Amino acid sequence: MSSITQPIGGHADVAGGHEHHPSGIMRWITTTNHKDIGTMYLWFSFTMFIVGGVFALTIRSELFEPGMQIVTPERFNQLITLHGLVMIFGALMPGAVGFANWMIPLQIGAPDMAFARMNNLSFWLLPPAAIMLLLGLFVPGGAPETGWTLYPPLSIQQGMGMDLTIFAIHIMGASSIMGSINIITTILNLRAPGMTLMKMPLFCWSWLITAYLLIAVMPVLAGAVTMLLTDRHFGTSFFNAAGGGDPVLFQHVFWFFGHPEVYIIILPAFGLISEVIPTFSRKPLFGYASMVYALCAIAILSFLVWAHHMFTVGLPAAGILFYMYATMMIAVPTGVKVFNWLATMWRGSITLEAPMLFALGFLFLFTTGGFTGLIVAIQPIDVQFQDTYYVVAHFHYVMVAGTLFAFFAATYYWLPKWTGHMYNETVAKWHFWGSFIFFNVAFFPMHFLGLAGMPRRIPDYAQQFTNWNQVSTVGAFGFGLSQLIFLYAVVSCIRGGKPAPAKPWDGATSLEWTLPSPAPYHSFPTPPVVQ
């Protein structure tokens, strides 16, 4: 990697190694470096994770026992709305973009992202959007009391917090779309010579598909919330029966976005897990091609199943059957992925460092969430589970134990590459076991609550639900506190620790491990040649 070579794109700010760049805060505000931007995304994501977590713990505290103790019912509703929006749009999506920014150029041998300045803009749109979203708590009427799904007519009734939320969603959507265009262009145009698409690490594949999904559905969400906005203020009646509209139409448009969104959140996690499991099994990924096809199949099916979120609105029987069958079909490609991961481990030489532990935790708990997903896909059963804690349990098994655990796995996996230090394995294992055990303590009882008939989004409940709620609240606090161990593990790794070699994991094969640790500020100024 000669330092005199000109950057590939010929773009002065892509990788001008000889260029002076600002330091201090201005470095971060003006940076166009994919590593800096990736780092900022990840810290932003963690910050929002803490904010959303505080909301979650407030909710769990209120639900510790029957009766109203901590917040008013309207504040409770606002917290559930913000918990959902902050976690999805603030923590999970930016987190995945952070990993993409850091790792995709390194994995495909590119010097940087294709559009470096747009990359800076897509990050810096996020903090103002987050502030706007949270500002809702302090305006008259508070944040929306609608849940993150923003169903009208309830959302039409809300105060100005609703408008702030709509604008925040617009901005975050714009950020996601720009980020996605950047990722697609980087992957399609900036691969090193010899890095064909079917040789790319699976993480890059998962993000390529995710980015297409984002470009397809984020604008639909923007359209849906714009329709809400004009219904609220400009006299349109998209969702108002009086003017010839239909409130159920919003649900269709929202879930046309919302279901692919679920896969937007989980697909990058699949990619991350597909990096970690082969490395710690010291064996190539089993069924690479079928993994790619399964990702594509899941992405395509995600457009055909949205109405399973609306199984109780009174769809005609034919519609219910179509959406039920289509939803059940998703179990096939998802099953292929799980079997392939197992086959990768089969006859491997497995070690259980923290990334592998989190990957196994992912496998175990995500699959559990997959089974409950299959159960709620069966419409007659879903009639009992729709809008109950069973659904809450289901999607936390796939979002938290799925995506979040994959993020933890990936963080420990790449921390040596990012910081140049090894993280403390003991601390990381404490983090894993704390997260794994308390996650289950917090969320497993919610299945029982849902079965027994506790609706979700209620600030107070009947007394037969008390015991499991108390268990769940204890688990939630344990899970929350376990994340402080994570913060400690990451910060101490940044500040020091055993120096990391270029390739700390003997089973790792992808390109990023050919770079020294920490990865230099400008990497691959000359493209590496693959095979």
Partner 1 sequence: MRRAGMDQGGTGLAASGENMVGTGKGGARRRWVATLAAALLAFPGIAFADWAWNFQPPASPIADQIERLHELIFWICVVIFIGVFGTMFYILIKHRKSVGHQAAQFHENTTIEVIWTVIPFLILVSMAWPATKVVLAMHDTSAPDMTIKVTGYQWKWNYDYIDEGFNFYSTLSTTLDQIQNRQKKDPHYLLEVDHPLVVPVGEKVRVLVTAGDVIHSWWVPAFGLKQDAIPGFVRDTWFRADKIGTFRGQCAELCGKEHGFMPVVVEVKSKDDYATWLAAEKQKLAAVADDPNKVWTQDELVAHGKKVFDGNCAACHQPTGTGNAAIGAPALVGDKVVLGPAQHQIDVVLNGQTNGVLQHPPAGGKMPSWAQLSDADIASAITYTRNSWGNKAEQNVIQPKDVKAERK
Partner 2 sequence: MSERENRRLLVRLGAVAVAMFGFGYALVPLYYTVCDALGLRDLGRPDAVVNTQVDATRTVRVQFDTNVRSMGWQFTALERTADIHPGAVTQAVFRVVNSSGRAVTGQAIPSYAPRLAGEYFRKVECFCFQRQTLAPGETRLMPVVFVIDPGLPHEVATITLSYTFFEVEGTGDGQTGA
Q: Which is nearer to partner 1, 220 or 378 (CB)?
A: 378
Whether 376 and 368 have beta carbons less than 8 Å apart is answered as: no
Closest CA to 119 of 11, 240, 275, 218: 11
Structure tokens at 41: 């995304």
**Candidate ranges 22-30, 34-42, 45-53, 317-325; the one touching partner 1 (CB under 8 A):** 317-325
Q: Which is nearer to partner 1, 132 or 357 (CB)?
A: 357
Q: Check residue 473 for interaction with partner 1 (CB under 8 A).
A: no
Structure tokens at 32: 């166009």
Structure tokens at 177: 């779309």
83 is an active site residue: yes
396 is an active site residue: no
Q: Check residue 487 for interaction with partner 1 (CB under 8 A).
A: no
122 is an active site residue: no
Interface pick for partner 1 out of 43, 64, 124, 339 (rule CB under 8 A): 339
**Which of partner 2, partner 1, none is residue 8 near (CB under 5 to 8 Å by kind)?**
partner 2
Q: Distance between CA 330 and CA 491 in Å, rounded?
A: 39
Q: For residue 498, give the 3-state DSSP assignment.
A: coil
205 is an active site residue: no
Binding mask 47-76 for partner 1 (x = CB under 8 A): -------------------xxxx--xxx--
Q: For residue 516, give the 3-state DSSP assignment.
A: coil
Amino acid (one-letter) located at 23: S
20 is an active site residue: no
259 is an active site residue: yes
Q: Distance between CA 523 and CA 531 in Å, rounded?
A: 19
Q: Of these residues, 122, 155, 210, 274, which one is catalytic?
A: 274
Whether 88 and 149 have beta carbons less than 8 Å apart is answered as: no
Q: Of these residues, 45, 175, 368, 482, which one is catalytic?
A: 175
293 is an active site residue: no
Q: Distance between CA 331 and CA 471 in Å, rounded?
A: 31
Q: Which is nearer to partner 1, 3 or 384 (CB)?
A: 384
For 36, phi then psi, to 5°, come to -60, -45
176 is an active site residue: yes
Three-state secondary structure of 299-314: HHHCCCCHHHHHCCCC
Q: Check residue 304 for interaction with partner 1 (CB under 8 A).
A: no
Q: Which is nearer to partner 1, 35 or 396 (CB)?
A: 396
Minimal distance, residue 474 CB to partner 1, in Å: 15
**Which of partner 1, partner 2, none is residue 520 near (CB under 5 to 8 Å by kind)?**
none
Binding mask 359-398 for partner 1 (x = CB under 8 A): -x--xx--xx--x--xx--xxxx-xx-xxx----------
283 is an active site residue: no
Whether 405 and 361 have beta carbons less than 8 Å apart is answered as: yes
Q: Which helix (H) or strand (E) holds 486?
A: helix 466-495
Minimal distance, residue 189 CB to partner 2, in Å: 5
Exposed, middle or buried by CB within 10 Å (0-12, 13-18, 19+), for 433?
A: middle
Measure Cα distances from 490 to 50, 56, 414 in Å. 15, 23, 11
Q: Check residue 484 for interaction with partner 1 (CB under 8 A).
A: no
Q: Of these residues, 35, 191, 232, 337, which one is catalytic?
A: 337
302 is an active site residue: no
Residues annotated as catalytic (active site), given as ranges = 83, 112, 148, 175-176, 259, 261, 263, 274, 308-309, 334, 337, 456
